[in-house]
Structure formats: structure tokens, C-alpha cells
Structure 1
Amino acid sequence: MYRHGFGLNAEVEHVIENDYRSPVIDYLRQNDFRATVEGLEILLAREFGFCYGVDKAVDYAYQTRRMFPDRRIFLTAEIIHNPGVNQRLREMGIEFLSGRYRSSVTYEDLTPQDIVILPAFGAAVEEIERLRARGCTIVDTTCGSVIHVWKRVEKYARDGFTAVIHGKYRHEETIATSSRVAQFPNGRYVIVRDKDEAQLLCDFITGTCSAEVVRERLGHAASPNFDPARDLVRVGIANQTTMLSSESLEIAEMLRRAMAARYGEAALNEHFRSFDTICSATQDRQDAMHALGELKPQLILVVGGFNSSNTSHLVEIAAEYCPAYHIESVADILSAETLRHKHWAKPEAEVAHGWPPPLPTRIGFTGGASTPDRAIGDVIL
């Protein structure tokens, strides 16, 4: 398994720059992240776009294509949640084994001559074992922040603590994280999407909710044969790295208080563990969104894949300050009056009418951690 690329950074750097760099974004960076054009004041968040984990994943994918120009190359899933980047990889001849870009090739069709790239989110343990059984060459682009979470939940499992994972149970990263727990004979986990689901666990711990209710509401997002009476005696907190960081911290505190109420502060260390697994890049972009909101724009446009978790949380924060829209690309600006966008709490995109404020106005812009500079720059133009 290749985890550090192929030493071809210099050879692919100019190609990546040509694909994703934006002169508009370069200009704004050089001019205090703002500009005024014909009554429109443009404000750009100070932290946005590709994070270090995404940079690494894209770089490794390009290196892999350069290293193996004549071999079949596959991704287990989207390398990151950005349609433009995934489409570019398809144009480079890299095929997908799952998801909306899935090709006709299945895992059973893979041979020892094939190259398979694991995405930035990582992959489940059983999925990696399937690839090894096929004899494929594996290129691992898993983000270091994700691996940090894996190490934490593995330690919880070894020490007999159930991992309570704040995340989206169908998200690739959370699937991969929970699979790390399942490696251990007595490994247990339960995934909570939000504070409401975390409150169910707290209510059971403090004796105000039955095990049946917990299993009914969260059984689909828990380890097999999850038993609240057995598995919520000792818990350790972890999170999907792209979740809303403030909510992850609140959930950890909710569970700490519940355990303290049930077992007492003196015994808390025997029943509760929590370590900071919040991704610094996610935190930086969320902090920058708050800072952008405090500049009082009349509107904020957040650019990123509609299936991007971190992008959806950015627009959720933006909406605290002013009207905010999540769009995938400049193609979603349908006209001067209509805009295709996705609300963070709704499953499908919708169309807004009369969305732009009249000039003169101030509009803020940012992009998720998987959004190239070019996609943001194209929207500003």
C-alpha cells in the first residue's frame, strides 16, 4: 500500500495548478480578501477551499495517473465531495467503483494489475481487505485528521469503551471510522447525528429513557446487537471531522454531564473519555465564516458539492448572519434572478427567485474544504 505518493509532486504541481488555480482568488488574497466593482463589494472569507487533506488526496491521484499511465486506475468512491474534481479525474481515465460516477467494473473484476485509490475520507476495513484479496496495488490518500480519529476509537475499543461518534451514519468517513471499532471482538459504537440523538443516550444513562427507545431510534446507526444497558456504561466521544465543531463539543459536554450524574464526578474517568478530534481545517473555515458574517454582508454564497458535509455546515453558520445559499458551481446561477441551491436541512436542491440584493450591496463568498479556488473564482466573476 502506498501512503506517501510516488515522489512526483514537482511533475504534477503545474497540472494541478492549471486545473484549479484562479486569478480572481489570487487577486483577492493580495488585496485583503476584498474588492469593490460597480457597486458590488466582494468579501472573501480568510480561510476557504482546499484543506491540506484534500490537497494531499488530489496530489496523490494525479501522481498515481502519472506513475501508471497505462494501467487501469480506480477510486473506491468520490475522492472528495466536489463534482468538478471528480469529473476531472474521470477525464484522466480514473474510474469509480461506487457512487454516482460508478463504472461497470465491480470489485470482482479487479486484477493484480489494477491500481485502486482510497479517497480522502478513507475506506472501511472490510473494503480494504477485499482489495487486498484481489491483489490490487492500493494508494491510500486518507486524510491525517481522519486517521487521528481512527486511532482514538481503536483505543476506546481496546479499553472497553463504546465509541459515540458524532457524524452522519451514511457518510464514507463515518462508515470507515465505525469499521475500525468493529475490528475488536468487543468493539461497540453508536453514531449520533445531532444533539437530539445525543440526548437520547443521555436520557438512558440518567434513567429517563428506555433501552427499547434507544434501540428503535439509533439501532440502525449502532454496532450489531447494540445493548444500551451493557454498551453505555463506558463511553468515549469522537466525531466525523467535517461536522459542526461547536455541536461536537456540546455533545461531548452533554454526555459528560450525564455520566457524572449517573456515576459521580469521582468515578467519571472510569466511565467517560473525550479527546479533541475536531479537524483544524474544518475549525478554521468555520471560524472564518463567523468572521465573514460579522462584516455584515447582505448575502453569502457558499460554493461546494451538495453532498459535502463541511460545506453544508458553513452555509448553516452563514445563515445566522444573513441570507445564504449553497451552490455547487457557477452553473447554478441560472440567471440574474434565479439560483439553484441546496438548504443544509433538505435532501434536494431547489430554485430561489429574486435572490440578489439590489446594488450597491456587499456579498460574502467562501468555499468548502473540497472546493477548488477556480470554482469560487468563477462564481465571483
Structure 2
Amino acid sequence: MAAVQQQVESHYRSDIIEKVRRAGGTISAGDTTVRLAKQFGFCYGEIIHNPEVNHQIASLGIKNLTGKNKEADISDLGPDDVVIVPAFGTELSIQQQIKDRGCQIVDTTCGDVMSVWKRVRKYATESVTSIIHGKAEHEETKATSSRALGDGSGHYVVVLTLGDTDYVCDYIRRGGDKQAFLEKFKGAHSPGFDPDVHLETVGVANQTTMLRGETEEVQRRIRQAVIDRDGPELAQKNFRFFDTICGATQERQDALRELLNVRMDLLLVVGGYNSSNTSHLAEMGEEK
């Protein structure tokens, strides 16, 4: 354990960062001042969407089974192989394929992600359609969507923007053109999804790395649409919600929000270009 701790510290700890932290998060040199957010450092929830970690994993001879840098296929696996499931999990069908190969699975799925899975599975057992706030092609959302199917009878639709949300809300209130709805959300809804049927009782879930404020607004708008259609009393039955923003994600968003109260010339966000966490932090800086 001591050897592992030493390796982690040598790879991820910075003497410069520790010096800045001891100085209260601020350091100056000449006419330049650097401020650090209170929550700063390695995000364990982004095992694959972190280029530094990717490089380290590759140096250990671990091969990718998916993505742009795919180096092997599930069909190549055997009982002697070990497969690491990343922090955002994987789709049930893929997980089953890996199990069928007889290899050992090391599951690093984040507990916050599994909480979302538990919620959408419950939605499915109660015939509640999951409206998932997230990116339809993101690995976490794809994994969550597969759980939202339940035993095969569940349904889901994924909304990314508030514009998507308003489109769904309008359909909840007044109905509309079914084919236009399905075309708009092509690739972002469950097989056999029928908006005339499956928007009757809905529950909101989310990709855990989305902006909290935006997810709360998605929830508020959909709840109001159900109230407008059904009235407050019946809406209590036909609308469900569960807060599932990742704790580490929220800490970083809160820390950046506090940091942005101080005037600065440049905000430097360190992270992967394909990381949802990183992109949302950059968006917060742009909005400021």
C-alpha cells in the first residue's frame, strides 16, 4: 500500500500547487497573480476522459476496447483477461458480452452514477418514463439509458438543452406531431418510444456531470408542464425527480463560482477536451 501511495503522490502531487495552497490559494510574481479554486486536483470520476490518466494507463499496457483509440475487441477476450469498467459505467449489453467471455471485471463505476441507475430502474418498474438530462452519446448517459429500459418495458428520452426541454414540455401540454418529435430526438429515445403514450408519467434523471443549475431548470420546466396538463394533485403522481449531480462535480462548480467573484484576466481550466466536467467549467467561465 505504501508503494502505491508513493506512486500516486509522485504522479499527481505538485510542490508548486501545495505552496499555493499554503499561501491561501493565491501566489504573485511581478504583475501576475494566480488564484486556485478551493477544490482542485485529480477527478476520480473521469478515469477515461483525462488525457494524463489515459497516458498512464497506456504505459501499463492496458488496451482500449472502445472509442477512437480502440486497440482490441470484446471478441478477443478470454478467461485470463481483466477488464476495467470506467467510472461512468457501461451499457448492460456490453457488460454482458464481457461477462460471457469469462474474464475478470474490475468495476470502477462511480457510486453517484449507480444511484442514477437505481432510480431509473425504479422508474421502469413503475411504468415511469425517464427524461434524462445529458448528452445522448456520452458513455454515462448511454449506460443510464440501458438501465432505464428495466426488463425491456421501460422508456426514456434524452434532453441536452433547455430548448430540447421546452420541446418536450410543449408536447406534454398540447401533444403534437409524433414523427417530428421522434425525428428531433433520433438516437436519443428508447426503442418503440411513443410520445403520445410515454410522456404521461415521467421522471427526471441526469448525467451526473451536468451543471446543477441547468438540471434543476430542466426539472422545474417539466414539472410545470405536467402541472399545466394534469393539475397540481395529479402531477404529484405523474412527475418524479431525484437529484443526482456528482458530489465531486458539484464541489468544483461551487469552487469555480466562488473564484469567479474575483476579477481576473484569464481563467485556466485544466482537463480533457472531451470531459463533460471540464467543458462545463469552461462554460461557467465564458458566461462570467
The TM-score with structure 2 as length reference comes to 0.97
Q: How do residues 98-177 of structure 1 correspond to structure 2 at under 5 angstroms?
A: 98-103=66-71, 105-177=72-144
Give distance in 1, aligned partners of 2:257 and 2:265.
14
Amino acid at match of 1:39: D
Structure 2 match to 1:373: none
Give distance in 2, aligned partners of 1:117 and 1:219.
30
SS of match in other structure, 2:55: helix
Higher relative CO (CA 8 A, sep ≥ 6), structure 1 or 2?
1
Q: How do residues 348-363 of structure 1 correspond to structure 2 at under 5 angstroms?
A: none
Q: How do residues 117-266 of structure 1 correspond to structure 2 at under 5 angstroms?
A: 117-207=84-174, 209-266=176-233
1:53–1:144 contact (8 Å) kept in structure 2: no
Structure 1 match to 2:13: 21
Q: Which runs of 5+ in 1 are unaligned?
A: 1-8, 55-78, 322-381
Amino acid at match of 2:4: V
SS of match in other structure, 1:236: strand
Amino acid at match of 1:248: T
The Cα shift of 1:227 comes to 0.2
1:121–1:146 contact (8 Å) kept in structure 2: yes
Deviation by residue 1:67-117 (Cα, 9 ceiling, x = unmatched): xxxxxxxxxxxx3201111111110111111113321x2111110000000
2:12–2:42 contact (8 Å) kept in structure 1: no
Q: How do residues 33-112 of structure 1 correspond to structure 2 at under 5 angstroms?
A: 33-51=25-43, 53=45, 79-103=47-71, 105-112=72-79
Amino acid at match of 1:25: I
Amino acid at match of 1:159: E
Q: Structure 1 or 2: larger strand share?
A: 1
The Cα shift of 1:52 comes to 5.2
SS of match in other structure, 1:95: coil
Question: What's the RMSD between the two structures over aligned residues?
Answer: 1.3
Give distance in 1, aligned partners of 2:194 and 2:40.
41
Tell me: CA distance 1:214–1:265, structure 2 relative to 1, closer, same or farther (3 Å).
same
Deviation by residue 1:264-310 (Cα, 9 ceiling, x = unmatched): 00111221001111112211111111111111111111111000011
Tell me: CA distance 1:49–1:266, structure 2 relative to 1, closer, same or farther (3 Å).
same
Give distance in 1, aligned partners of 2:277 and 2:242.
20
Give distance in 1, aligned partners of 2:6 and 2:23.
24
Q: Which runs of 5+ in 2 are unaligned?
A: none
SS of match in other structure, 2:174: coil
1:30 matched to 2:25? The reply is: no
The Cα shift of 1:182 comes to 2.1
1:282 matched to 2:249? The reply is: yes
Amino acid at match of 1:100: K
Give distance in 2, aligned partners of 1:240 and 1:49.
21
Amino acid at match of 1:33: G
Amino acid at match of 2:93: E
Give distance in 2, aligned partners of 1:20 and 1:186.
45
Amino acid at match of 1:268: A
Deviation by residue 1:112-151 (Cα, 9 ceiling, x = unmatched): 0000000011111111100110000000000111111111
Identity value in percent: 45
The TM-score with structure 1 as length reference comes to 0.73
In the alignment of these two chains, the number of paired residues is 288
Give distance in 2, aligned partners of 1:10 and 1:271.
53
Q: Which runs of 4+ in 1 moved over 6 A?
A: none
